């Protein structure tokens, strides 16, 4: 084994960073044996240098992250600051000064992954980011490497623990959204400002990253259709139950049937209770992958938290260190397929639509005509009503999102349709 | 991209090999883009050269596998023959003549993994074998690489599709073992001679491989305790249901609580219906991994079959080809921890024991005394009886296998115990 240590600079020492530092210290011998050389924490960049950080030598702590990544003797920079800046500049500076990078930064990777990969490639350095998607769950490496000889057709997952906790709570207790969110906040599963989670921004970033890797195509954050789960109601869960379904916030990356284009989207959807994703409880994450040869695979585990995220970061750290000792780099960006990323209108799926309608003869015929005119075929209709008001629940066959949108617009114009109570996609059948 | 192709020799062209060849041809452009150079099928060694193999150039077919691996211009040998010989000699010959190896051979890896890794290392070549365990499910790479910065404490999985199909059938229909086996055979899930599957030999080989990788310790096939599932009865399933459990044939690799030793075993066990492994249906495989930092992870998918196994083989092929272009090798054997592999007697778990006893006063006291004398603490007892015969179902707290064995021996000697109807371990709680 090489005795000269590989030097690691840690950018950020919050929940994840402190756990990375702790494991690097307590498991130093194991890491050295697995890498083939010891690893040494050479510096820790933080915003608040005065905070006491147990187990971290105060002499390593600095507020000057830029100087740290510019030192020139750093082998690997571990970036767990999050956000776009200063993380982006620090990572590119790290490459320029000879370091490889391990990052857990989903927002940055989703927005600027291509440029960062290019910077890594230019300097012949590694950029690894297993921790950016689904925390501890090995997902990026299996997609990039284990399935490198296969053709992936769909990646569908629960990639946000906060929203899964809320939806699971609504499902199991019948609570409304606000009540479930309050509990998630009280238990620390939701942040004070939960927007990034509940509006699907976090999941959309992960969808962009996953789609890019799965389809060997650049998928920008703007390419991902995004719909949050704040409008999901207890009534929606009741409807889902009647269908033998539950509701999950899903990130879905799909290859079109003709193989020439892909789509990526995040939205709440009904999935059958028999689907493996339906039984993913609490804040757990799980990602379902369908490919030509392997068939259906699922990866399940904790999607967030200091320790799980640190596990993913350290796995990458070991890989990057091994590569460095080998004088090699791992697989970089693979975007050779350059498939078209189609808009949401091209997505084909099934829909569950609840309408409030007038309770009089001919309404069903009128509604059915609108569906037919837009080429959306109806699978089942359930009508219930009293006191002159009725509700119609329509479940469609597969249709494009554009056709469904046109249908709904036309339905809203019917005098007999008082309102569209909810529209929910049905997935995983 | 390099234009000179990497040359692949395929040893074996059965269900898996023909699928590997097919995908290499149909997905040649994708593989080339992902590897950075084209791959060319340079030879196919078979036993029966006259059989027509669609899509394979007859000029590539040979019965002389030895000459093929000795050619000297082969970059990667893909071994999908199975069995110990001639596979072992062919693989070592391949290393000697400059090739890296991708294998799907669980029996060989379990028996001679250390020697094969040593041969690969001596010649600075790769030995990859993702397909040897759990078919298409990415498992070896996640354990070896994604979790390389973590400490794995337990790997528990359903790694044999045939037995899972049979047990699932018994569970869902109430069928007995023979009836379920007959159906598995008729549907092609079980081989004409199902011994390797139903007696747990196949799962034990996989357990040895998984334990070795998970604990960075050499675990020989002989180190793995093995118990088949041919004795599992419909009555056992009824007992399991009463406990809120089902029965699975599990491969369990565990680190002892003191961290200094490990165990590996294969046997049928009751697991709670709430455990993610309980809902693994049909011939699917799934492996549950518990580690210090990541927590609980699960990997799920098809554990066998031509296409799924080919997916795993091709993922390895891409990785090995990339390494070759990089002039590097991937991680080799990691056995530095060299932990003690303890015998089955040291395994600590819970037990579900059904006894046929005489229905008279004092029997329960006698039985309870035997458990107490052997230091096995009882959790629950359920007694039912009629016509002078009774059955006692005892569920214990955690105890060593040695203590339980001693208990059962002593129970058999009691006049009032007519027989020990079944002993089943209880896992996953």
User: What string of H, E and C letters represents the secondary structure of chain A?
Assistant: CCCCCEEEEEECCCHHHHHHHHHHHHCHHHHHHHHCCCEEEEEEECCCCCCCCCCCCHHHEECCHHHHHCCCCCCEEEECCCCCCCHHHHHHHHHHCCCEEEECCHHHHHHHHHHHHHHHHHCCCCEECHHHCCCCCCCHHHHHHHCCCCCEEEEEEECCHHHHHHHHHHHHHCCCHHHHHHHHHHCCCCCCCCHHHHCCHHHHHHHHHHHHHHHCCCCCHHHCEECCCCCCCHHHHHHHHHCCEEEEEEEEEEECCCCCEEEEEEEEEEEECCCHHHHCCCCEEEEEEEECCCEEEEEEEECCCHHHHHHHHHHHHHHHHHHHHHCCCCCCCCCCCCCEECCHHHCEEEEEEEEEEECCCCHHHHHHHHHHHCCCCEEEEEEEEECCEEEEEEEECCEEHHHHHHHHHHHHHCCCEEEEEEEEEECCC
Beta-carbon separation of B151 and A27 below 8 A: yes
**Chain B CB within 8 Å of residue A317 CB:** yes
Please report the residues numbered 110 through 129 in chain B whose beta carbons come closer than 8 angstroms to any beta carbon of chain A.
Answer: none
Using a CB–CB cutoff of 8 Å, tell me whether B15 touches chain A.
no
Q: What is the Cα–Cα distance from A137 to A286, expressed in whole angstroms?
A: 8
Asked if B426 is an interface residue toward chain A (Cβ–Cβ < 8 A), one would say no
- Residue contact B145–A315, C-beta within 8 A: yes
Supply the pLDDT for residue A292. 96
Which pLDDT score, from 0 to 100, does residue B361 have? Answer: 85
Average pLDDT over residues A238-256: 96
Q: Which residue has the higher pLDDT, B207 or B383?
A: B207
pLDDT band at A360 (very low <50, low <70, confident <90, very high): confident
Contact B147 A130 (CB under 8 A): no
pLDDT band at B76 (very low <50, low <70, confident <90, very high): very high
| H/E run at residue B37 | none
* pLDDT of res. A384: 83
- Residues of A (30-49) whose Cβ lies below 8 Å from B: 30-31, 33-34
Question: pLDDT tens digits for B219-245?
Answer: 999 999 999 999 999 999 999 999 999
Q: What is the pLDDT of residue A388?
A: 73
Q: Would the CB atoms of B317 and A149 count as touching at under 8 Å?
A: yes
Q: Do B33 and A147 touch (CB under 8 A)?
A: no
The residue of chain A nearest to residue B150, with distances taken between CA atoms, is: A311
A393 φ, ψ (degrees, to nearest 5): -110, 115
User: A310 touching B, CB under 8 A?
Assistant: yes
For B246-254, what is the mean pLDDT?
98
Best of B22, B125, B137, B145 to mutate (most A CBs within 10 Å, chain A)? B145
Residue in chain A lying closest to B279 (CA): A276
Option in B136, B313, B334 nearest A34 (CB): B334
**Does residue B2 have a pLDDT over 90?**
no
Q: In this complex, do B146 and A291 lie within 8 Å of one another by their Cβ atoms? A: no
pLDDT tens readout for residues B125-151: 999 999 999 989 999 999 999 999 999
Residue A106 has pLDDT above 90, yes or no: yes
Tens digit of pLDDT for each residue in A168-222? Answer: 999 999 999 999 999 999 999 999 999 999 999 999 999 999 999 999 999 999 9
The mean pLDDT of A276-285, rounded to a whole number, is 93
| Cβ(B148)–Cβ(A318) below 8 Å | yes
Q: What is the mean pLDDT of chain A?
A: 95
Q: Is residue A255 within 8 angstroms of chain B, CB to CB?
A: no
Rounded distance between C-alpha atoms, residue B101 and residue B89, angstroms: 12
Q: Which has more pLDDT, A260 or A402?
A: A402
What is residue B387's predicted lDDT score, i.e. its pLDDT? Answer: 73
Chain A CB contacts of B297 below 8 Å? 136-138, 299-301
Taking 80 as the threshold, does the pLDDT of residue B52 lie above it? no
Answer yes or no: do A23 and B142 touch at CB < 8 A: no
* Structural domains of chain B sorted by starting position, each given as residue range(s) with its CATH number in brackets: 6-136+306-326 (3.40.50.720), 153-302 (3.30.360.10), 347-426 (3.30.70.260)
Q: Least CA distance to B309: which residue of chain A?
A: A294
Mean pLDDT of chain B: 95
Inter-chain touch A23–B293, beta carbons under 8 Å: yes
**Contact criterion met (CB < 8 Å) for B297 and A298:** no
pLDDT digits (tens, 9 = 90+) for A115-170: 999 999 999 999 999 999 998 999 999 999 999 999 999 999 999 999 999 999 99
Which residue in B has a C-alpha nearest to residue A313's C-alpha? B149
Q: Which of A216, A296, A318 sits opposite B149 (nearest CB)?
A: A318
Q: β-strands B340-341, B399-400: how paired?
A: unpaired
Q: Which of residues 273-302 of A touch B (CB under 8 A)?
A: 276, 279, 291-302
User: Residue B206's closest CA among B249, B152, B261, B168?
Assistant: B249
Residues of A (197-216) whose Cβ lies below 8 Å from B: 216
pLDDT of residue B225: 98
* Selection from A221, A182, A175 nearest residue A202 by Cα: A221
Q: Count chain A–chain B contacts defined by CB atoms under 8 A.
A: 194
- Residue A398 confidence (pLDDT): 97
| B-chain residues near A319 (CB < 8 A) | 145, 148
A206 is catalytic: yes
């Amino acid at each position: 084994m090489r005795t000269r240590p590989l030097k690691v600079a840690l950018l950020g020492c919050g929940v994840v960073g402190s756990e990375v530092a702790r494991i690097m210290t307590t498991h130093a011998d194991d890491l050295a044996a697995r890498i083939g050389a010891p690893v040494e924490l050479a510096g820790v960049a933080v915003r608040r240098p005065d905070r006491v950080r147990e187990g971290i030598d105060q002499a390593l702590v600095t507020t000057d992250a830029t100087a740290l990544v510019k030192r020139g003797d750093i082998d690997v920079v571990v970036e767990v600051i999050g956000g776009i800046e200063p993380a982006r500049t620090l990572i590119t500076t790290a490459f320029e000064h000879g370091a490889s990078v391990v990052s857990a930064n989903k927002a940055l990777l989703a927005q600027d992954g291509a440029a960062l990969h290019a910077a890594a490639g230019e300097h012949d350095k590694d950029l690894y980011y297993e921790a950016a998607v689904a925390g501890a769950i090995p997902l990026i490496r299996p997609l990039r490497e284990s399935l490198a000889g296969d053709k992936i057709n769909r990646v569908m997952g629960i990639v946000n623990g906060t929203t899964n906790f809320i939806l699971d709570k609504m499902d199991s207790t019948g609570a409304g959204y606000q009540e479930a969110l309050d509990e998630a906040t009280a238990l620390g599963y939701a942040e004070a400002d939960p927007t990034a989670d509940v509006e699907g921004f976090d999941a959309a970033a992960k969808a962009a990253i996953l789609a890019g890797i799965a389809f060997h195509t650049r998928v920008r954050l703007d390419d991902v259709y995004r719909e949050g789960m704040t409008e999901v109601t207890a009534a929606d869960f009741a409807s889902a139950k009647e269908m033998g379904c539950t509701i999950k916030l899903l990130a879905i990356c799909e290859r079109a049937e003709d193989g020439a284009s892909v789509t990526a989207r995040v939205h709440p959807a009904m999935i059958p209770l028999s689907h493996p994703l339906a039984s993913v409880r609490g804040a757990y994450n799980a990602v379902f992958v369908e490919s030509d040869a392997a068939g259906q695979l699922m990866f399940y585990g904790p999607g967030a938290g200091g320790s799980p995220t640190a596990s993913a970061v350290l796995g990458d750290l070991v890989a990057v260190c091994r590569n460095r000792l080998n004088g090699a780099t791992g697989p970089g960006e693979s975007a050779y397929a350059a498939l078209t990323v189609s808009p949401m209108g091209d997505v084909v799926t099934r829909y569950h639509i609840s309408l409030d309608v007038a309770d009089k003869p001919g309404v069903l015929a009128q509604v059915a005509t609108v569906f037919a005119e837009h080429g959306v075929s109806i699978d089942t209709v359930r009508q219930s009503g009293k006191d002159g008001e009725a509700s119609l629940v329509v479940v469609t066959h597969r249709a494009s999102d554009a056709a469904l949108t046109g249908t709904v617009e036309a339905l809203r114009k019917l005098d007999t349709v008082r309102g569209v109570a909810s529209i929910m996609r049905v997935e995983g059948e």
